[in-house]
Chain A
Amino acid sequence: MMSNLIFLAEFTVIRPDPGTVFWTTIIFALFWFLMSRFAFKPIANALKERELDIQNSLDSAKQAREEMANLQAKNEELLALAQEERAKILHEAKLAKDTIIAEAKDKAKEEAHRVVINAKEEIENMRMAAVVDLKNQVGNIAVDIAEKILQRELKNKGEHEQYVKELVDEMKLN
């Protein structure tokens, strides 16, 4: 009985029915609206924001690295400059030292020379004074001697001579 019988198998899924079309339209439209408004747009924005954030971070890191390199280059330059400066200063200092020493030496020499000349002059002056004094004393002594001789002559000629001799010995020029 069953062999020649076909159960009416209805392939209903291929028949679009108005109810399904209606509800699918409503539900998909709702899905689209709700998901866009409350999920996909905020998520897409957050993702974009994060992407931008990461790009910015990378950019600023790169910039920082470049700045660092720049800074280092500048530092080296500064260091080189400082070294040069130091060398220059040292050189100048040495020059100054040499000049000062040389000047000091000259001055000292000059001073010494001056002192010597002064001393010579002083000596000369004192000698002159001494000579003048000596002359004066010799004159005086001569006068004295002469006076004494004269006084003695009057008494003894031999004695005079003796006496003169004694006096002269006594006078012993110094």
Chain B
Amino acid sequence: MRSFSLIIGLLLSFLTVTYGQDQHGDQHSNSASHAEEASAGQEGHGACGCLHDEEAFPEYNPTASAFQHIGDANAFHVAGDFYIPLPCILYAPDHGWTLMMANKFEAHHHGNGSKAIDRYVLVHGEVKRIADTAFPKGEVEIECISHVMESVKGKEVEMPVAVYGGTCYALENRSTLDGGVFGGGITSFYDFSITKNVFTMLLVLIFFFLVFRSVAKTYQARRGQAPKGLQGFMEPIVLFIQDEVAKPFIGARYDKYLPFLLSIFFFILGLNLIGQIPFFPGSGNVTGNLGVTMVLALFVFVVVNINGNKNYWKHIFWMPGVPAPIKLILTPVEVLGLFIKPFTLMLRLFANITAGHIVVLSFVGLIFIFGKSGASMGGSLGGAAASIPLTMFIMAIELLVAFIQAFVFTLLTASYIGAAIEEDHH
């Protein structure tokens, strides 16, 4: 209990300090953007400017808003223009490592930084890099983050740019491992930062470690006594995973895999639940991020196949009890199944959580659509009246989904392990 209040105290003092810095940065950038307003009037090729003040309310874009809210970020948005800065660990093969706190970007409105550091800038709380190698290195004051129209695949789209010296500099996203399939790919830099998602995972790690350490200590202290308090709250969940998931699917050797199953279950459940909280320390969409579910599925893949016995491999490569021609068909199917199983684990969790968040954000977006992006008060109120019950309903379903998906992931993991260690019954 004391360590818990210590953490809260540290967090609060941390917040106060960073908020002060944030405010300072805000003032700074305000004066900068005012000074550049004159250049914004210029139009033409190469010339670039920042938005006018009256354009501070851009038209509400529900898709962009939803996608931005479920995305990862390098600064944790708390309220208004207040962001908790997180450590940025950036690597560019042409430059090397750049280590700093995100507040060095001096982010202000909408989480856009007013400084470029080693060509890195902060756009909506997310680190991007100025593609142009001619851009000066080190700490550079930029005019603003703006958007330019660009033609991508025949469509006019708005691309974020950094404005510096009257020129718009195109921005690059961090490298991703989708190989360009989902619009990402390898770019000029990698982001190994403690992002919002990583921060959330660390919070869940610390939270569950403290909770279960205390529960484990209670078990030692209250040996031979009935469970009590936190122990009594957690025990049915642990017993449920043990008796309804591990024992029926794995069998007699369940206790070897129980810690893994419990880890999977509580890690996913914790992240699902913290993602349902719409404000700090929640709002991190961790299990709705394909990278995270991919790693979890890979852990399952490795644990299942490392423990696979002779019988398991025999069933994959040369299914006993079926004629040889059928074996030739079955083997590729079984080998494919080896990868499809973790693949579906990855997709199921990702899709469920992301879909839930998008539906909630869409319903919340009704307020802004009916309110004409803040222009119509009556419309906003009407939108809110429609949105609130719908959002509450979806959030209730999301709460259910949070438990169901954690349970399903664990259950399927247990069944895959069970199949891998099953002895020959023929």
Residues of A contacting B263 with CB < 8 Å?
A: 28, 31-32, 35-36, 40
Residues of A contacting B295 with CB < 8 Å?
A: 20-21, 24-25, 28
Question: Is B240 an interface residue when CB atoms closer than 8 A count as contact?
Answer: no
Residues of B contacting A49 with CB < 8 Å?
A: 223
Evaluate whether A15 and B259 lie within 8 angstroms (CB atoms) in the complex, with A8-B152, A28-B295 already known: no
Q: Which of B176, B209, B216, B267 contacts A16 (CB 8 A)?
A: B176
Could you tell me the distance in whole angstroms from the C-beta of A83 to the nearest C-beta in chain B?
A: 46
CA distance A20 to B194 in the complex (A): 9
Could you tell me the distance in whole angstroms from the C-beta of A172 to the nearest C-beta in chain B?
A: 121
Interface size, B (range): 35 or more
Chain A interface mostly: helix
Q: Which of A16-71 contact B (CB under 8 A)?
A: 16-25, 27-32, 34-36, 38-44, 46-50, 53
Residues of B contacting A47 with CB < 8 Å?
A: 219, 235, 238-239, 242
Stretch at the interface among B62-70, B77-85, B130-138, B405-413: B62-70
Residues of A contacting B216 with CB < 8 Å?
A: 38-39, 42-43, 46
Evaluate whether A43 and B175 lie within 8 angstroms (CB atoms) in the complex, with A21-B291, A22-B192, A32-B259 already known: no
Stretch at the interface among B8-16, B44-52, B156-164: B156-164
CA distance A36 to B261 in the complex (A): 10
- Closest-by-CB residue of B relative to A40 is B259
Stretch at the interface among B19-27, B105-113, B182-190: B182-190
Interface size, A (range): 35 or more
CA distance A24 to B215 in the complex (A): 25
CA distance A12 to B123 in the complex (A): 14
A8 touching B191 by the CB < 8 A rule?
no
B61 touching A24 by the CB < 8 A rule?
no
B213 touching A31 by the CB < 8 A rule?
no
Evaluate whether A18 and B175 lie within 8 angstroms (CB atoms) in the complex, with A13-B71, A39-B209 already known: yes
Question: Is B220 an interface residue when CB atoms closer than 8 A count as contact?
Answer: yes
B260 touching A17 by the CB < 8 A rule?
no
Could you tell me the distance in whole angstroms from the C-beta of B85 to the nearest C-beta in chain A?
A: 17
Residues of A contacting B215 with CB < 8 Å?
A: 39, 43
Question: Is A14 an interface residue when CB atoms closer than 8 A count as contact?
Answer: yes
Residues of B contacting A17 with CB < 8 Å?
A: 72, 174-177, 184, 190-191, 291
CA distance A43 to B89 in the complex (A): 37
Q: Which of B63, B149, B205, B288 contacts A27 (CB 8 A)?
A: B205
Could you tell me the distance in whole angstroms from the C-beta of B244 to the nearest C-beta in chain A?
A: 14
B212 touching A38 by the CB < 8 A rule?
yes
Please count the residue pairs between chain A and chain B whose beta carbons lie under 8 angstroms apart in the complex. 197
Contact with B along A130-172 (1 / 0, CB 8 A): 0000000000000000000000000000000000000000000
CA distance A50 to B63 in the complex (A): 54
CA distance A28 to B126 in the complex (A): 24
Question: Is B399 an interface residue when CB atoms closer than 8 A count as contact?
Answer: no
Residues of A contacting B296 with CB < 8 Å?
A: 24, 28
B182 touching A14 by the CB < 8 A rule?
yes
Contact with A along B213-246 (1 / 0, CB 8 A): 1011001100110000000000100110010000
B212 touching A35 by the CB < 8 A rule?
yes
- Closest-by-CB residue of A relative to B191 is A19
CA distance A34 to B132 in the complex (A): 45
CA distance A12 to B177 in the complex (A): 11
Q: Which of B209, B223, B266 contacts A46 (CB 8 A)?
A: B223
A10 touching B212 by the CB < 8 A rule?
no
Question: Is B173 an interface residue when CB atoms closer than 8 A count as contact?
Answer: yes
A46 touching B219 by the CB < 8 A rule?
yes
CA distance A58 to B294 in the complex (A): 47
Residues of A contacting B64 with CB < 8 Å?
A: 7-9
B209 touching A15 by the CB < 8 A rule?
no
In the A-B complex, list the 6 residue pairs whose CB atoms are closest, starting with the nearest: A39-B212, A16-B291, A20-B291, A15-B184, A15-B176, A36-B259
B178 touching A16 by the CB < 8 A rule?
yes
CA distance A6 to B64 in the complex (A): 9
Q: Which of A59-100 contact B (CB under 8 A)?
A: none
Residues of A contacting B160 with CB < 8 Å?
A: 8
CA distance A15 to B208 in the complex (A): 28
Evaluate whether A18 and B190 lie within 8 angstroms (CB atoms) in the complex, with A24-B296, A35-B263 already known: yes
Could you tell me the distance in whole angstroms from the C-beta of A22 to the nearest C-beta in chain B?
A: 6
CA distance A42 to B195 in the complex (A): 33
Could you tell me the distance in whole angstroms from the C-beta of A69 to the nearest C-beta in chain B?
A: 28
Could you tell me the distance in whole angstroms from the C-beta of B249 to the nearest C-beta in chain A?
A: 16
Could you tell me the distance in whole angstroms from the C-beta of A31 to the nearest C-beta in chain B?
A: 5
A11 touching B209 by the CB < 8 A rule?
no
CA distance A43 to B263 in the complex (A): 13
Residues of B contacting A19 with CB < 8 Å?
A: 89, 174, 190-193, 195, 198
B158 touching A8 by the CB < 8 A rule?
yes
Residues of B contacting A32 with CB < 8 Å?
A: 259-260, 263, 299
Question: Is A5 an interface residue when CB atoms closer than 8 A count as contact?
Answer: yes
Given contacts A11-B67, A14-B178, A17-B184, 5 further A-B contacts (CB under 8 A): A8-B159, A20-B292, A25-B295, A25-B298, A41-B259
Question: Is A174 an interface residue when CB atoms closer than 8 A count as contact?
Answer: no
A23 touching B259 by the CB < 8 A rule?
no
B209 touching A38 by the CB < 8 A rule?
yes
Could you tell me the distance in whole angstroms from the C-beta of A153 to the nearest C-beta in chain B?
A: 141
Residues of A contacting B126 with CB < 8 Å?
A: 12
